[in-house]
Structure 1
């Protein structure tokens, strides 16, 4: 995975579908952007609609050891994402273990957050929550695909911890970032992850995705990240 420093830029949108600003029509920033006008809306429309399956059998362990080094760069996934999303990053013992950085701004709340290792100011969020994925197809996957989803930078974002705790395992129909300026980018990321991994959505979820993205019709669809199968050494887990 090739990760770059720098904060994630926001796109401006109004959740009530009333039109787009110049910033909106340019799309959002983030790793591996691709696509053109309407790509995110079209991708959302292509997602399969089914009901939410039971959460029975779900546990975090079903998605492998937390923050596995699936890209074999000798840094765990959490530190990779901190390096990508924080400014003024400081390390200890090399260039992997992040001890300090600035999240300016936090995409979910819009406020500035300081990261210091050992303090719960910053979370690495799974944009598509793992339990949500479990209920929408991941229950039936090979374990290596679940490990890949849990560690794919396309599905990971450094965010304010307190705001993220309010999200829980919500999908687009039940939770959107309080920072309305980031909602287009957030929904586009959820669409991109669900499309990449073949996850389905509920009818309410798809309706909300399209409602948000209609307000920013030129929103780009993020792309890239890791392969959808973890390396061989993880497959027996």
Structure 2
């Protein structure tokens, strides 16, 4: 299995890692934090690459929501005995994570969108960088259910990130033209990750969405 890809801000906090599964609770200790604050250290080259990729995306009006339901994007996939993709993201994005078997039972998560710290894994939301409904409106309506399932469980691209429930509810299915993270310091990375996902999955962008992403890249 290829290494997990995460939003750039989570890679600064902790590298992707494998968890030793035991019958009793154990602690997962990520590599030592480099001390880089989220939203810092993005290179001009990264921003240029993102701008180039953005320019290649097809512009189209948002499609209809007719026929949409979250059930058409099955998630979360299982990743082992009593494990699923949600557990994988919680382990990847948290610090001092404790597991019981495959289940995450404790740890600390910093929500990149609003800076909230969460210590109860049950109160952490796993956000789809490009929301499922947005994907539906920008091309996923024509996909097979199998492909939509792959998209909803994508660990190879920066599509899944652990955040606060309040920020996830605030975002909903909005694109960057109508919703941005509360913390403007992460707009650069957010735009880059959004573009990465839309490029990988060949999804369209609206004119307003492209303009907002261009503005956000200026934060780089």
TM-score category by the smaller chain?
A: 0.7 to 0.9
Q: Contact (CA 8 Å) 1:187, 1:212: kept in 2 or not?
A: yes
Correspondence 1:88 to 2:96: yes
The 2-side partners of 1:186 and 1:122 are apart by 19
Partner of 1:199: 203
TM-score by length of 1: 0.74
The Cα of 1:205 is off from its aligned counterpart by: 0.1
Partner of 1:189: 193
Q: Contact (CA 8 Å) 1:123, 1:164: kept in 2 or not?
A: yes
Partner of 1:29: none
The 2-side partners of 1:160 and 1:78 are apart by 14
The Cα of 1:36 is off from its aligned counterpart by: 4.3
TM-score by length of 2: 0.79
Q: Contact (CA 8 Å) 2:47, 2:217: kept in 1 or not?
A: no
Change beyond 3 A, Cα 1:197–1:116: closer
Partner of 1:43: 53
Q: Structure with the greater relative contact order (CA < 8 A, sep ≥ 6): 1 or 2? A: 1
State the superposition RMSD in angstroms. 2.0
2:39 aligned counterpart, secondary structure: coil
Partner of 1:130: 132
Change beyond 3 A, Cα 1:208–1:37: closer
Q: Contact (CA 8 Å) 2:185, 2:219: kept in 1 or not?
A: no
* Greater than 3 Å deviation, 4+ residue runs: 5-9, 23-26
Q: Contact (CA 8 Å) 1:63, 1:143: kept in 2 or not?
A: yes
Correspondence 1:97 to 2:103: yes
The Cα of 1:199 is off from its aligned counterpart by: 0.3
- Which residue among 72, 77, 94 is the counterpart of 1:68? 77
Q: Count residues in correspondence.
A: 189
Correspondence 1:77 to 2:85: yes
Change beyond 3 A, Cα 1:41–1:73: farther
The Cα of 1:197 is off from its aligned counterpart by: 0.3
